[in-house]
């Protein structure tokens, strides 16, 4: 094999290797490329997720405020109930005293 034939064979082998590398790169890019529709869908999904998180945060805040209001209202109602029960106990005691007084007056 002469020198010219060797250079020509090496050039052909390198050219074929280059073509195979280029084709492999093209194939890889073709299969791994992200479509514009997919990117748009991901953007839309991320926006919806962000909105859902904001809605969840607002709901949690509302529920915490409502729970605080109801707890306060329950405490007030219990205090009113205790006061009413104390008043009723005093009224019963007073009624018993009045009955006893009336019974003593009759006797």
SS3 93: helix
pLDDT one-digit tens code per residue, 11-65: 999 999 999 999 999 999 888 887 778 888 999 999 999 999 999 999 999 999 9
Q: What's the full length of the chain, in residues? A: 107
pLDDT value, residue 69: 97
Kindly report the pTM of this predicted structure.
0.54
Query: Up-side HSE of residue 102: CA atoms within 13 Å toward CB?
Result: 6
pLDDT one-digit tens code per residue, 52-100: 999 999 999 999 999 999 999 999 999 999 999 999 999 999 999 999 9
pLDDT value, residue 76: 97
Query: Up-side HSE of residue 9: CA atoms within 13 Å toward CB?
Result: 6
pLDDT value, residue 37: 83
DSSP assignment, residue 33? Answer: P
pLDDT value, residue 31: 84
Contacts of 9 (CB under 8 A, 6+ apart): 1
pLDDT value, residue 3: 92
The two tokens of residue 75 are 């405490």
Task: For residues 29 and 35, give the distance between their C-alpha atoms in angstroms, rounded to a whole number.
Answer: 12
């Amino acid at each position: 094999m002469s020198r010219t034939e060797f250079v020509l064979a090496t050039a052909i082998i390198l050219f074929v290797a280059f073509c195979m590398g280029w084709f492999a790169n093209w194939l890889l890019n073709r299969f791994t490329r992200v479509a514009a529709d997919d990117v748009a869908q991901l953007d839309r999904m991320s926006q919806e997720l962000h909105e859902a998180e904001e809605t969840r945060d607002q709901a949690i805040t509302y529920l915490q405020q409502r729970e605080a209001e109801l707890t306060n209202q329950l405490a007030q109602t219990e205090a009113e109930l205790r006061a009413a029960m104390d008043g009723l106990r005093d009224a019963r005691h007073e009624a018993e005293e009045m009955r006893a007084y009336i019974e003593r007056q009759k006797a």
